[in-house]
Amino acid sequence: MKQNETLLNIMENDELMQDDSHFSTSLETPLRPDAFKLTEEQKIEKIEHHFREILTTLGMDLNDDSLNKTPYRVAKMYVKEIFSGLDPNNKPKVSLFENKFGYNQMLVEKDINVNSQCEHHLVPIFGKAHVAYIANGEVIGLSKINRIVDYYCKRPQVQERLTRQIAEELKQVLKTEDVAVVLDAKHMCVSSRGIKDVNSSTITAAISGQFQNEATRLEFLRYIGMNSSF
């Protein structure tokens, strides 16, 4: 019951700050104006060079067969995989379909995988996203919701910003304010360093439109398994 009371308060306030270090001042991911001046190959080359220096400074022997290619592997992973969401060219193409069935209730896609990186320590954030919307004449393919979540996960993030970016993208794509997003995630910067708390998770929410109505909000919570009688 307590967890659900807390979540209800989060949704009413539209965000939860776990602590000061997770404060986000902008909806936009902070990027320099020349962020895309270099090609992917040039970025990989630069990151490989600098990461080689990092490992050497730590005292690692990069002549070892196991380590020799590590700087390149890390650089390629950063550019092509876990930070590929920084490049707007990788934004998923989304098509809308006419709501021919006249379905005017909420649609919920729950338990979407969240795999991102904390921008403060560059260690994983992982958990689940729950997304809902009420159609406004058009609907989106279900897999596209997952792809939008994945796109915004693939960049250095704070969970509050990630939650809002997903919600704002869906509102823009679907042309409706009736959108709700809840993220429940664990942060390796909490569990593997510092306090080393492996049990806690962080819940954030972004809601708008009809989901600001308490009855609609509670219906959404029931669908995602966070309901209680209060």
**CA–CA gap between residue 44 and residue 31 (Å, rounded):** 18
**CA–CA gap between residue 85 and residue 149 (Å, rounded):** 10
Does the annotation mark 153 as catalytic?
Answer: no
**CA–CA gap between residue 53 and residue 48 (Å, rounded):** 9
Of 42, 50, 120, 214, the active-site residue reads 120
The H helix count followed by the E strand count for the chain is 7, 7
Does the annotation mark 50 as catalytic?
Answer: no
Does the annotation mark 159 as catalytic?
Answer: yes
Of 109, 157, 160, 189, the active-site residue reads 189
Of 118, 153, 157, 210, the active-site residue reads 118
Q: What sections of 109-207 are H helices per DSSP?
A: 142-153, 159-174, 188-191
**CA–CA gap between residue 107 and residue 171 (Å, rounded):** 14
Does the annotation mark 22 as catalytic?
Answer: no
Of 18, 121, 138, 219, the active-site residue reads 121
Beta carbons of 226 and 38 less than 8 angstroms apart: no
- As given in the structure block, the two tokens for residue 166 are 């997903």
Does the annotation mark 187 as catalytic?
Answer: yes
Does the annotation mark 119 as catalytic?
Answer: yes
Edge-first strand order for the sheet with 124-134 is 156-157, 106-118, 124-134, 179-187, 202-207
Of 119, 138, 168, 219, the active-site residue reads 119
Of 159, 160, 169, 210, the active-site residue reads 159
- Residues designated catalytic: 118-121, 159, 187, 189
